[in-house]
Amino acid sequence: MTYVFDTSPLSALFRNYYPDIFKSLWAGFNALVTNEKILSTREVLREIEDGSQEALRNWAKVNKHIFPEPTAAEGQFVAKIFSVPHFQNNIEKRKLLRGGRVADPFVIARAAVTGAAVVTMETFKPNASDIPNICKHFEIPCLTLEEFMRSEGWSF
């Protein structure tokens, strides 16, 4: 399976699973990156550059290839997401007013276009406009970081 990572699980990986201690986890994760099974999008890279921990920023620089610019097809899918009025709430007004980053629709679009599963720390909440709700609406698999690890059969 291929996965499109949101910012939150990447941050959690670096915050909770130190590469120098959880070596087998990182060997598996980096193997998936090398085999192009871990994807993301430029908008996630921008969020990482704007304020993530140094280790994650350094890792993202080395693995910049997994953060490509959105394609035309992905842009069209973002428009499809926002054609659903309820999902327009996904963009926080504060982010827009401050020029903040909005990666969520691009993460979902990349997964939709590539046939991948989204990995996020967000969980489904009834009537929300978060990543899991949008994924459910468009029938895109959506996993938490723990579910991703289970999906890969990892045990440490």
Binned at pLDDT 50, 70 and 90, residue 57 comes out as: very high
Tell me the average pLDDT across 43-64.
92
Per-residue pLDDT of 89-108, as tens digits, reads: 666 544 554 455 689 999 99
Model pTM score = 0.91
Strands of the sheet containing 117-119, edge to edge, are 38-39, 3-5, 117-119, 142-143
pLDDT at site 94: 45
Q: What is the residue-wise DSSP string for 57-126?
A: HHHHHHTGGGSPPPPHHHHHHHHHHHTSGGGGGGS-HHHHHHT----HHHHHHHHHHHTPEEE-S----T
Domain boundaries, the chain: 3-151
pLDDT at site 99: 53
Measured CA to CA, the distance from residue 63 to residue 72 in angstroms comes to 23
Per-residue pLDDT of 75-94, as tens digits, reads: 999 999 988 888 876 665 44
Per-residue pLDDT of 2-51, as tens digits, reads: 999 999 999 999 999 998 999 999 999 999 999 999 999 999 999 999 87
The CATH number of 3-151 is 3.40.50.1010
Higher pLDDT, 115 or 127: 115
